[in-house]
Amino acid sequence: MSNLDQRPAPTPCGAAPRTGPVHELQPGREVPLGESTVVRRLLPNLGRRMVGAWVFVDHYGPDDIADEPGMQVPPHPHIGLQTVSWLHAGEVLHRDSLGSLQTVRPRELGLMTAGRAISHSEESPSPHRNAPILHGAQLWVALPDAHRHTAPAFEHHTTLPVLHGGGGLTATVILGELDGAASPGTTYSPLVGADLALAAGTDTRLPLTEDFEYAALSMSGSPVIDGVPLPPGALLYLGEGRRELPLRSDHDAAVMLLGGVPFEEEIIMWWNFVGRTGEEIAQARADWARGTRFGEVTGYAGDRLSAPALPPVPLKPRGRTR
């Protein structure tokens, strides 16, 4: 997934003060992605930069793309992060500079580790007759300093652990660990990403890890998370210090649970890069503009993305920011 903004603002992240349990509702903002897809950008935002190592969250759909291009994200670069593709409906074709060519389908994990450098594209396979509805989330995980120069990699996992809780809850562990179940996806910091299906009449409590901070993204329906009604496409930041999470829904609903140990390192996110200094970000941009370092994505019917201009103010990580 790319940030297609041609005037991206640098976003200092990490090293946030501890909060304890809270309720912060983040409605997100609409951002165009390609020719016909509009996403709701939930992280980063003015109120919250990160949730654990989760540093970027887009929610899109459900959209009828039967007569539309659907998702069309040209080849673009990444450093210092992992991308997570998660679908409730539709298909996304992933290509990258490692030579990967993979169609990701609903409830399958597409996980790309950018590490020191990678480029990739994403598109809705054409025609869309078999998958006319597109609905999902794209997320980034910031890599800690010890691993951010690791070799790039792509993983595709079709089988993920599923927990069947009482009270109408079914949880698929996308990444990390939840209640003793671990995803096969590679992680570099303690975190969790899970898809929670709440059947009509659900009234239960989900065990959590007390030293994680959490957020809940409503994918569909109108669930009630710890007493807070959550409209579709909204993010509820829950803070940390919780041992369990009350979940309730009168009708079928779906929620993504994101969490992790608070990210203590100061980082800069600009365009599609996560780094530590302005010089590092500028070097990555220059390398992409010159066509070096990131490799080539073959097979995409279109040009690669051009890098936007750097802001006139030098990119610097700030102090302890939300």
Domain boundary among 99, 131, 158: 158
CATH number at residue 253: 2.60.120.10
Q: Are residues 83 and 137 in the same domain?
A: yes
The answer as to whether 272 is a domain residue is: no
Range of the domain at 152: 31-158
Binding-site residues from annotation for Fe cation = 76, 78, 120, 122
The dihedrals phi and psi of 44, each to the nearest 5 degrees, come to -75, 160
Helices (H) and strands (E) in the chain, counts: 1, 26
Binding-site residues from annotation = 76, 78, 120, 122
The answer as to whether 75 is a domain residue is: yes
Output the six-digit token pair for 99. 């030579």
Q: What is the pLDDT of residue 322?
A: 43
Torsion angle, CA of 157/269/143/70, rounded to 10 degrees?
Answer: 0
66-81: per-residue pLDDT in tens?
A: 988 899 999 999 999 9
Q: What is the pLDDT of residue 290?
A: 96
The answer as to whether 267 is a domain residue is: no
Q: Are residues 49 and 148 in the same domain?
A: yes
Give the model's confidence band at 319: pLDDT under 50 very low, under 70 low, under 90 confident, else very high. very low
Q: Are residues 142 and 223 in the same domain?
A: no
Q: Are residues 116 and 191 in the same domain?
A: no
Domain boundary among 205, 236, 260: 260
Give the model's confidence band at 21: pLDDT under 50 very low, under 70 low, under 90 confident, else very high. very high
Three-state secondary structure along 215-240?
EEEEEECCCEECCEECCCCCEEEEEE
Domain boundary among 158, 185, 207: 158
Return the higher-pLDDT residue of 9 and 30.
Answer: 30
The answer as to whether 266 is a domain residue is: no
Q: How many domains does the chain have?
A: 2
- The stretch 287-299 carries a mean pLDDT of 97
- The answer to whether residue 36 scores a pLDDT higher than 80 is no
241-287: per-residue pLDDT in tens?
A: 999 999 999 999 999 999 999 999 999 999 999 999 999 999 999 99
C-beta of residue 260 within 8 angstroms of C-beta of residue 212 = yes
The answer as to whether 222 is a domain residue is: yes
Q: What is the pLDDT of residue 320?
A: 35
Q: Are residues 71 and 121 in the same domain?
A: yes
The answer as to whether 295 is a domain residue is: no
The answer as to whether 46 is a domain residue is: yes
The answer as to whether 234 is a domain residue is: yes
Average pLDDT of the chain?
Answer: 91
- The stretch 292-309 carries a mean pLDDT of 95
130-164: per-residue pLDDT in tens?
A: 889 999 999 999 999 999 999 999 999 999 999 99
Q: Are residues 141 and 189 in the same domain?
A: no
The helix, strand and coil proportions of the chain, stated in percent and rounded to the nearest 5, come to: 5, 50, 45
- The answer to whether residue 166 scores a pLDDT higher than 90 is no
Q: Are residues 68 and 119 in the same domain?
A: yes
C-beta of residue 73 within 8 angstroms of C-beta of residue 112 = no
C-beta of residue 53 within 8 angstroms of C-beta of residue 274 = no
Report the run of H or E that residue 287 belongs to, with start and end: helix 278-290
Report the percent of the chain where pLDDT is more than 90: 80
- The answer to whether residue 34 scores a pLDDT higher than 90 is no
Q: What is the pLDDT of residue 14?
A: 63
Q: What is the pLDDT of residue 130?
A: 81
DSSP per position, 106-141? TT-EEEEE-TT-EEEEEE--S--TT--EEEEEEEEE
Report the percent of the chain where pLDDT is more than 70: 90
What residues contact residue 291 under an 8 Å CB cut-off, 6+ apart? none
